Structure 1
Amino acid sequence: MSKSRKWFGSDSAQSSAEQDDRVAVSLSHLRSLEFSARGFSFSPRQPVRSILSGQHASRLRGRGLNFEELRHYRPGDDIRTMDWKVTNRTGKPHVRVYTEERERRVYLLVDQRISMFFGSERAMKSAVAAELAALAAWRILGEGDRVGALIFDDEQCHHFTPRRSREGVLNILKQLERSNAALTAGCRANAKQLNLAADALLRHVTHDALVICIGDGFGWDEGTDEMVKRLSLHNDVIAIDVFDPAERELPALKELVVSDGESQIVVAGTREELQKRFEERHLQHVQHMREAFQRFGLPLIEIDTVGDPLKQLQRALGTQP
């Protein structure tokens, strides 16, 4: 590895508490992010530079509409609200009246599988994903909307019904802490769990919700494409791709020792050969995810493990240049 890049955990000047939060976040750290969750928003009104604005991607739908009542047509009513079936049956013009929902449902789909347990510099991807989820949850709650989550690891999914309360957010953060703490080098990867989690989310999300997917896209395939397409038909979908720079550019070494936590092998060859093989195999799922979101016209935000997650969110959502 080049001198400019240090593997995570090599800085002895860091305190043990800070080191722990970069490997496995604590509940106290996630709670503290409430006071810094500012300068970005997932609301339909976005700054011009935001990736969620109309110039860069399809606008967010915002809150949905609830049916209120049927009543007689009055001069000035929008003809598009006419209920023609009732009008034909009664012989008198009727309109359907809707009211805007006072709060929107937001779901966080957070990946906490072993593929996220990697970091070459500042923090593990799993820890950054947990921080991003906490920042999003606190911000959504601050905007008066309900926030729920589906947090999944390599074995199971944890569902939290959207609620507009601090208790609801804290329940999500507690599970993020537990999921972070459970990740160890000996865990076995389960690529199929992504689709199982997406399928579970589809059973809970109906319409006019905002779904924020936070992860690295490991295991993304044609089945994932179909589920995201179904989700986006009646909901807004945003993906936050969490990546580490070392995943995109291999260190300048003639050979690498690669381990899955139980066994290890030596990968030899020229740097060009290694880089090509690495990109073809390891980043295939990432490219598939990017192409799917581009094809469906959905926004994709890229967050690395080196910079401050909050500042990166603020830049992506247009509040910082």
Structure 2
Amino acid sequence: MALSLSALGRSKGIARPHGTAAGPDKGVHVATEDLVALEAQARDFGFLAKRPVDRLLAGRHSSHRRGRGLAFEELRNYLPGDDIRSIDWRVTARSGKPFVRIYDEERDRPALIVVDQRMNMFFGSRLKMKSVSAAETAALCAWRVMALGDRVGGFIFNDSDIDERVPQHSRAAVIGFAGALAKQNGELAADLEVERGTGQLDLVLEKVAAVAHHDHLVIVISDFEGHGPRTRDLLLRLTVSNDVIAMLVYDPFMLDLPEKGEIVVSGGNLQVELAMGHGKVRSGITDFAKRHGDALLAWQQELGLPMLLVSAAEETAPQLRRTLGQLAWRQRRR
């Protein structure tokens, strides 16, 4: 679908995807039933554990903590404080020194899905709004986690509210998560006046860090607008003892700007008209987008944080199968 510059002006800088045969709201907002229906498409992808293992997410995962589970890890010398029940008496008798058998405790890995529904996500130039792509990505991940045997919950946030959902393993819980997500998504509108603070992303990550002390799967779905040093520090804190995946939702408009015409952009109450035929305007927008993207993708190397791209100009489910499949392939080669 081609970008309509006049639609940009009418919508205060929000590029709205054109209506389709499915209805004028298709791609602009998403309903609970749309997110529930994605259960059928939540297949053929998984989430790898942080440590190398022989399988994808399958409901139970090797923990970072030691315990008396089913997966044997090593045989070593007895140390003061070891549980005497772990002593291998046969090896001890043969060697004359006490040895213990160490196991990896197998545990459920609850998932926390963090979904951005701030006003900055209400932008889309071709197929759908970034907010819709984020909501679909979250629903697909939630359905997949539940199908593979783990509990799922998360945080849905906009410019003023944060809705926390405690991890549970049930269809009802995922449907409730989808309903809360659709509610915040439906509140987004071009004429919505909000206080656009810069700290909401960090605030929700602080709440996530307070819950995910260890052995969680944390999936952050956002365009990461307003990120800064604090955002980086919080993500680093989460990656120390959890499996963290960041999904960067973007719209290709910034990568392929129109060569002529005017657009109206808005940061809330203030609106500015930009002449796209002006070279300095185009290069300024392009440079900003490139700096933003480069800074986020650098976290991949700096923090060891997978940063997966989700385009609002493509269908969501095929992208997830492709990008998460590539992530699994890369981690297996390490």
Contact kept, 8 Å, 2:114 with 2:218, in 1: the verdict is yes
In structure 2, distance between residues paired with 1:36 and 1:87: 46
Structure 2 equivalent of residue 78 of structure 1: 74
Structure 1 equivalent of residue 123 of structure 2: 118
Counting only pairs closer than 5 Å after superposition, residues 167-178 of structure 1 correspond to structure 2 as 167-178=172-183
Structure 1 equivalent of residue 283 of structure 2: 276
Structure 2 equivalent of residue 73 of structure 1: none
The count of residues paired between Structure 1 and Structure 2 equals: 295
Contact kept, 8 Å, 1:104 with 1:146, in 2: the verdict is yes
Contact kept, 8 Å, 1:87 with 1:94, in 2: the verdict is no
Shift of 1:66: 5.9
Indicate how the Cα distance of structure 1 residues 300 and 53 shifts in structure 2: closer, same or farther if over 3 A, else same.
Answer: farther
Contact kept, 8 Å, 1:43 with 1:62, in 2: the verdict is no
Note the alpha carbon deviations across 1:74-130, whole angstroms, 9 max, x for none: xx9933484434589xxx947475553342111111111001001111111001100
In structure 2, distance between residues paired with 1:53 and 1:134: 27
Contact kept, 8 Å, 2:111 with 2:153, in 1: the verdict is yes
> Counterpart of 2:43 in structure 1: which amino acid?
R
> Counterpart of 2:129 in structure 1: which amino acid?
M
In structure 2, distance between residues paired with 1:132 and 1:255: 32
Note the alpha carbon deviations across 1:121-149, whole angstroms, 9 max, x for none: 11110011000000000011000011111
Unaligned runs of 5+ residues in structure 2 are 5-14, 54-59, 85-96, 330-334
> Counterpart of 1:187 in structure 2: which amino acid?
E
Shift of 1:53: 9.1
SS in 1 for 2:27: helix
Indicate how the Cα distance of structure 1 residues 312 and 302 shifts in structure 2: closer, same or farther if over 3 A, else same.
Answer: same
The reply to whether residue 166 of structure 1 matches residue 174 of structure 2 is: no
Equivalent in 243, 250, 260 of residue 250 of structure 2: 243
The reply to whether residue 227 of structure 1 matches residue 226 of structure 2 is: no
Indicate how the Cα distance of structure 1 residues 192 and 261 shifts in structure 2: closer, same or farther if over 3 A, else same.
Answer: closer
Indicate how the Cα distance of structure 1 residues 291 and 271 shifts in structure 2: closer, same or farther if over 3 A, else same.
Answer: farther
Shift of 1:262: 3.5
SS in 2 for 1:144: coil
Contact kept, 8 Å, 2:116 with 2:158, in 1: the verdict is yes
> Counterpart of 1:315 in structure 2: which amino acid?
R
Unaligned runs of 5+ residues in structure 1 are 46-51, 55-60, 71-75
In structure 1, distance between residues paired with 2:274 and 2:219: 36
Shift of 1:295: 1.1
Contact kept, 8 Å, 1:216 with 1:286, in 2: the verdict is no
Contact kept, 8 Å, 1:221 with 1:288, in 2: the verdict is no
Contact kept, 8 Å, 1:21 with 1:127, in 2: the verdict is no
In structure 1, distance between residues paired with 2:73 and 2:173: 40
| Cα RMSD after superposing both structures | 3.2
The percentage of aligned residue pairs carrying the same residue is 34
TM-score normalised by L of structure 1: 0.81
Structure 2 equivalent of residue 10 of structure 1: 18
